[in-house]
Amino acid sequence: MPDTDRLVDAHHHLWDLERRPQPWLDEPGHEPLRRTFGPAELRSAADRPIAGRRLATTVVVQCLPSVDETRDLLALADGEELIGAVVGWADLTSPGAGDVIDELLHGTGGRYLRSVRHLVQSERDDRWLQHPTVEAGLREVAARGLGYDVLIRDHQFPQAIRLAQRLPDLPLVLDHAGKPPITGDGLGEWAHAIRLLAVHPQVTCKVSGLVTEADHTAWTVGDLRPVWDVLLDAFGPERLMFGSDWPVCVLAGGWNRWAATVEELLTDCSDQDVAAILSGTASAFYGLPDSAATREEDPVPMTERPHTGVRADRTRGTR
């Protein structure tokens, strides 16, 4: 499938509750998510094209701080044509983080491991990413040609900015645009932080998870457009990537409604910009194949890829 036709979903989740429980689903409001979600359900849900592009490749992202869950996702990717990359987990505070990553890379489906993530959004320490042990773990990530998915809330931007300053050789992608306070008192502080982070060329950003930061039942495209405008101006299309955050987005309208919203936001973008946001940026960051036919080829090491171009108790859905 040529690049002009491909749609890459750079952020979604899968879980089998019979195999591995997801305790975070016990939180109030998550009732619609308390069942198993697999690739077949994703294919069924994602039946709306965006700008004429249909879903071709995805990046499945960890939910649990669990190496076993990462092994499950890598094994799933190994046999599932839709999945082109996995964002996994390893304990970055452990002196053995590099050894664990090596084990994952050499295990079943290890070639699909392209990035690591930790749920920093749940850490109370506002300098967690600057802990010497964490920085050492992140250097192990970079040394293996992997990237790092930054999952923070809007009040945690300072440590993400320091991370970009201190580890300029580690490719970073900001998940869910740093969870802007769409239902809060304004976007000013978030927008300022976004611009400070975007100064660093190794940082990209996922346009994902916005609907679950908005009012789940009453959000409109107009509520999200100010966020979109800031992201597009700060990062440019060559450093933005589409993500659905499925099935979490089910809480606020689902995959197809989010797809229709993204298509509307893209209305004034050029074909080249649309191609970057819907496939190019994610393909470059995660080393995705051009098509299923080239899926088995070794990925391009992250280090050889060009850089494309304050409410701690908030419990809204994005993961």
At 308 the pLDDT is 42
How do residues 105-124 score in pLDDT, each as one tens digit?
Answer: 999 999 999 999 999 999 99
What share of residues in the chain are helix, strand, coil (percent, to 5)?
45, 15, 40
Q: Is the pLDDT of residue 296 over 80?
A: no
**Alpha carbons 246 and 254: distance in angstroms, whole number:** 7
Q: Is the pLDDT of residue 312 over 50?
A: no
User: Angle between the 221-235 and 188-198 helix axes, to the nearest 10 degrees?
Assistant: 30
CATH code of domain 3-304 = 3.20.20.140
At 76 the pLDDT is 98
- Work out the percent of the chain whose per-residue pLDDT is above 70: 89
Mean pLDDT estimate for the chain:
92
Within 8 A by CB and 6+ apart from 40, the residues are none
How do residues 39-76 score in pLDDT, each as one tens digit?
Answer: 999 999 999 999 999 999 999 999 999 999 999 999 99
At 201 the pLDDT is 98
The CA-atom distances, in angstroms, between 26 and each of 36, 38, 250, 317 are: 14, 19, 16, 12
**Alpha carbons 134 and 6: distance in angstroms, whole number:** 36
**Alpha carbons 222 and 10: distance in angstroms, whole number:** 24
Task: Give the predicted TM-score (pTM) of the model.
Answer: 0.92
**Do 101 and 74 contact (CB within 8 A), yes or no?**
no
Element (H, E) at 193: helix 188-198
Token pair of 14 as six digits: 């899968």
Q: Is the pLDDT of residue 246 over 70?
A: yes
At 67 the pLDDT is 98
How do residues 79-93 score in pLDDT, each as one tens digit?
Answer: 999 999 999 999 999
- Work out the percent of the chain whose per-residue pLDDT is above 90: 88
At 317 the pLDDT is 56
**Which position has the higher pLDDT, 253 or 318?**
253
Within 8 A by CB and 6+ apart from 110, the residues are 74, 104
Q: Is the pLDDT of residue 290 over 80?
A: no
At 184 the pLDDT is 87
